Structure 1
Amino acid sequence: MPPGTSMSAAASVTTLWPVLAAGLVAGYAVALPVGPVASYLVGLAARHPWRVGVAGALGIATVDGAYALVTGLFGTIVADLVRPVAGPLRVASAAVLVVLAAHGAWTAWRERAASDGGTRTDPLSAPRAFGRFVAITAINPGTVLFFAVVVTGGALLPDAAATGAAPAAAVVFGVAAFLASASWQLVLALGGTLLGRVLSGPRGRLGTALASSGLMVALAVVLLLG
């Protein structure tokens, strides 16, 4: 291997370390605030088996990582495309959250009624939870705009482009954001599972569902007003 090639590869690897750190920081920054989706995750995990909460957490993290990857590759283009429709997407996000809040409260009420009759319905599977959280996270314009601002405003990836490692940097940035988001969402999901074990009675499950639904509606109103 020519000396110049090995030096270029070493420079590329060196350049990727700051991108890895930036991806981790960005992933935690977008995941840590407990918004309506996180509140829904905790409430759902409290009423279902642990695998359902874990699947939901990974659904959220998958979208975060995918958005980080896309903005790492096409940051400026993505920001320009999303910004004009951010308002309608915000309205759509709020509407979906209200519908999910109503659905969660109604499902918990039916489970309470079923438990009084000696049975309990538990219709949500792990694959459905994964798909549901992918959908409600994907329509959040704030996530993709946040990553676009981090990439373009922070000038993380142009340095990698100078060494010919721009695609690799985008992948590293996306994977790091996924891992950061997944670690926090799993904490929330497993915390919800533990809460569900503490409040394992029908009234406890109904109470957590109604509290989660109420918080989601309140956050949806904040989302519309913001």
Structure 2
Amino acid sequence: MSELFSPALSGAVAGLGVAMPMGAMSVLLLQEAMRHRRTAVAAAAGIAAVDLGYAALATAVGPWVASRVSPVEAWIRLFAAAVLLSIAAHALHRSARPASSTPPAPPPPGDRPPGDGTGSGGGAGGAGAVRAFGRYVGLTAVNPTTALYFAALTTAQASALTTPATAGAFLVGVAAASLLWQQTLVALGAFAGRRISPAARAWTFRLGYGLVAAYALKIAFPLPDLA
């Protein structure tokens, strides 16, 4: 079991790195939780499912790619680290701009479309949750940064994900961390609503991409031999 702990921990850090930055999807999820917690729980699962799907695809392809270029494995790691660092640097640069205003308050009950999962009608049941899951899967899947993030990460870590067990442990870590964070946002949205300040959102954004940057430095070393 001890040999699975490291890839599981790596997966958890990777999952938090992609999930914690509070961008547009996090704001939407908070708004969903403010309206109806049940649909927000399904929406959070949809976001985590996409993170897991991209991670699984990258885990399947990354080691195969890396095995074909093993003579330059150190350079592959360095390139992947550069990609991750550029993602983190770009995001952290954007986070230095003035924070946006807090999410708008949910519309009053009379202004909500019927069956949106916010009332006691049919939309608040399983159908509303299924629709929320599908909607957030679609919204998250169109973000190319998530795919690029996991592709760079898993290609650089190919030597550590060579068996089904280690790859599975990595994916469990990704899924668990992503789902836990998204469900934490749901709980915060349902409990705190608009009391979550722009400053708090900005710091989670910075912390998440700080994890990405730290992960990039971890996989960059040891540096390629220039001799």
Q: How does 1:78-157 map to 2 (within 5 A)?
A: 109=107, 111-112=108-109, 114=110, 121-124=114-117, 125-153=128-156, 155=157, 157=158
Relative distance call for 1:14 and 1:195 in structure 2 (3 A) is closer
SS at match of 1:34: coil
More helix by share: 1
Question: Which residue identity does 1:25 align to in structure 2?
Answer: V
Pairing partner for 2:39 from 14, 30, 52: 52
Counterpart Cα distance in 1 of 2:64 and 2:27: 31
The alpha carbon displacement at 1:77 in A equals: 7.5
Counterpart Cα distance in 1 of 2:130 and 2:161: 37
Q: How many pairs are equivalent?
A: 153
Residues 21-52 of structure 1, C-alpha deviations (whole Å, 9 max, x = no match): 1000000011110011111100111012x211
Question: Which residue identity does 1:194 align to in structure 2?
Answer: F
Pairing partner for 1:73 from 57, 60, 63: 60
Q: Contact (CA 8 Å) 1:31, 1:185: kept in 2 or not? A: yes
SS at match of 1:123: coil
Equivalent residue, structure 2, for 1:158? 159
Residues 173-203 of structure 1, C-alpha deviations (whole Å, 9 max, x = no match): 112101000111001111111235x89xxxx
Counterpart Cα distance in 2 of 1:40 and 1:126: 15
Q: How does 1:131-210 map to 2 (within 5 A)?
A: 131-153=134-156, 155=157, 157-161=158-162, 165=163, 167-196=164-193
Q: Which runs of 5+ in 1 are unaligned?
A: 1-12, 84-103, 200-207, 216-226
| CA RMSD between the two structures | 3.3
Q: Contact (CA 8 Å) 1:58, 1:185: kept in 2 or not? A: yes
Moved segments of 4+, more than 6 Å: none
Question: Which residue identity does 2:58 align to in structure 1?
Answer: T
SS at match of 2:116: coil
Counterpart Cα distance in 1 of 2:182 and 2:22: 10
Question: Which residue identity does 2:6 align to in structure 1?
Answer: P
Q: Give the TM-score normalised by the residue count of structure 2.
A: 0.58
Q: Which has the larger radius of gyration?
A: 1
Counterpart Cα distance in 1 of 2:171 and 2:181: 16
Question: Which residue identity does 1:51 align to in structure 2?
Answer: R
Identity over aligned residues, as a percent? 36
Q: Contact (CA 8 Å) 1:22, 1:173: kept in 2 or not? A: yes
Match status 1:33 vs 2:33: no
